[in-house]
Amino acid sequence: MAVKQYKKVLITSALLIFASSGFGQEARLKNGTIGYVMTDLFWAVYQTPDAQEECPKGFNSGPREQFAALFPDHESMTVEETQLRQEIETWHPTADPDGFPYYDVEGGFSWGLNLDGDISANDFTHPSGERGIDNEVYRAVGCIIGFRGPLGVEYIFQNKAILDERYNRMMIELTGVDNLQNDEEVTVNLYRGLDTLLTDATGLKAMAGGSQRIDTRWGASLMRHTTGKIVDGTLTTEPIDEMVMPWMNLGVKSIHIFRDMRLQLKLTDTGAEGLVAGYADVDTWHKQLIRNDSTHHLSNGEISGISLYKALRRLADGHPDMETGENTSISTALDVKMVQVFIVHPKSMNVSTAKLTNR
């Protein structure tokens, strides 16, 4: 019996050593190709424990608080004067002040990347010391409870949907990879996957080694290609002019549009972790939020869709409109995690077209 147990330990140890050796990497990095699928996505919000550094004036108010302040005598008022007035302000927003104070982030640190290559007074400093960080979305949402971890409503639910919903299943595929530690040039392809994630028994933790078919039909418009280089295990890509990110959390077919989008990811053979950064289209950003999260949901995170829109407009720092000169996009960064996945390319794209009904 003791011999049997000894053999068992020996075999198990050998397997573990085998698995942690270069073999796993070779198996996953096959013919110079490796794929990763997104499992976590958060708006990059730099937080200190008591928020005093970034939000010294406190947090912004949400729909319930604003309604109470605006309409203390709501029982003597009409639906048009109260509820619908607020919904109109939400769905037909303007940049005009709403009368409520808005608390931008005041701290000097932020996660993110230097998107414009400049270092200006308005930029943040990365906690690592790098200056010139562009992340105005953080400045707008950093003092809203709903966007802060670990209990903010957006922090929880938008990220949960990345894991749960196939609609959000974005992947990257690196080709031409000689070495995951250092490679002067690799090709980076972005696809949407069609399949549920491989998870552990809890269903909450995505595992490396799953398979994903490429969504060549519904996701055809989401495909993008760029190049990048790997230095000391970190992939940095060239910007993609416009990346469309499918992101819904409550059943609405919504998207984000990131201009000049680039990735900075620490790679291993089982996963990737880092940043998605670029300039988010302001109107699309706002609509993605309010289409998924009704005023009820926003209330739970004390997020005023009305006030936040004005802040986004005020802080927008990219892609000025050709006619008005007004900036249409806002710098941003997202914390992203991915696990390795085997990406399955289709043999063909033969699919039937949808049939209109007939009788």
Partner 1 sequence: MLLVKSWYEVVRRTRFKIFALSTLYAVATAHAESEVNWQTELWLEEAMPPAFRVESSELEGPVYADTNGRTLYTWPLHVQRNGYSGESPGTPACYDEVLTVTAGLMSPYPPGIQLPDLDTRPSCTDLWPPVVADKDDKPLGKWTIVLRRDGSRQWAYDDQPLYTSIYDKKPGDVFGGTKRRYGGDDPSKRVPVSPPSKVPPGFSVATITIGRILTTDQNESVYSYATDTAEQTMCIGECTQRWEPVIAPALAGKNGEWSTLERSPGVMQWVFRGHPLYTHVLDQHSWSQQGSDVAGWSNVFTQRAPSPPADFTSQTTIGGEVLADANGKTVYIYRCGDDSADQLACDHPNDTQVYRLSMCGGGDARRCLEYWPYVRAEKAAASNNNIWTVLSIDPETGHFASPEQENAINVWGYRDRPVYTYGGDLKPGDVNGDGTGEHRGQRNGLQAFMLRDDFMGGTL
Q: Could you say which of 222, 234, 280, 330 contacts partner 1 (CB under 8 A)?
A: 222
* Residue whose pair of structure tokens reads 């970034």 in the numeric block: 54
Of 169 and 262, nearer to partner 1 (C-beta) is: 169
| 286, 315 Cβ separation under 8 angstroms | no
| Closest approach of partner 1 to the CB of residue 297, in Å | 9
Q: Which of 51, 74, 234, 239 binds partner 1 (CB under 8 A)?
A: 74
Listed in sequence order, the DSSP H helices in 302-342 are: 305-315
Q: Is 321 in the site for partner 1 (CB under 8 A)?
A: no
Query: Which of the 8 DSSP states describes residue 197?
Result: P
Minimum distance of partner 1 from residue 359's CB (angstroms): 5
- Least distance from C-beta 304 to partner 1, angstroms? 11
Residue type for position 316:
A
User: How far apart are alpha carbons 335 and 44 in whole angstroms?
Assistant: 5
User: Tokens 């409503």, residue?
Assistant: 153
Nearer Cβ to partner 1 (207/250): 250
Q: CB nearer to partner 1: give 50 or 80.
A: 80
Count CB-CB contacts under 10 A for residue 9.
10
80 lies in the binding site for partner 1 (CB under 8 A): yes
- List the Cα angle 42/45/49 in 5-degree steps: 120
Among 246, 274, 278, 318, binds partner 1 (CB under 8 A): 246
Task: List the beta bridge partners of residue 349.
Answer: none
- x-or-dash string of contact with partner 1, 281-320, rule CB under 8 A: ------x---xx-xxx--x---------------------
What is the contact mask toward partner 1 in residues 130 to 169, using x (rule: CB under 8 A)? -----------------------------------xxx--
Residue 111: C-alpha distances to residues 2, 120, 191, 274 (Å):
54, 16, 26, 10
User: Which contiguous run of DSSP H or E holds residue 155?
Assistant: helix 153-164
- Cβ proximity to partner 1, 90 vs 327, nearer residue: 90
Q: Is 250 in the site for partner 1 (CB under 8 A)?
A: yes
The three-state secondary structure class of 188 is strand
Only one residue has tokens 């990879």, namely 177
Residue number with CB closer to partner 1 (67 or 103): 67
216 binds partner 1 (CB under 8 A): no
Residue 219 as a binder of partner 1 (CB under 8 A): the answer is yes
Q: What is the Cα–Cα distance from 101 to 17, expressed in whole angstroms?
A: 59
Q: Is 354 in the site for partner 1 (CB under 8 A)?
A: yes
Which residue from 187, 189, 196, 270 is in contact with partner 1, where contact means CB under 8 A? 196
Number of residues that bind partner 1 (CB under 8 A): 53
According to DSSP, the residues that pair with 259 across neighbouring strands are: 242, 279
Q: Which one, 64 or 266, has the nearer CB to partner 1?
A: 64
Rounded-to-integer distance, Cα 27 and Cα 25, Å: 5
The residues pairing with 214 across neighbouring beta strands, listed in sequence order, are: 193
25 belongs to the binding site for partner 1 (CB under 8 A): no
The DSSP-derived string for 231-251 is ETTEEEEPPEEEEEEE--SSS
Using the rule CB under 8 A, is 128 a contact of partner 1? no
- The binding site for partner 1 (CB under 8 A) comprises 63-64, 67, 74-80, 82-84, 87-88, 91-92, 165-167, 195-196, 217-222, 244, 246, 250-255, 287, 291-292, 294-296, 299, 350-359
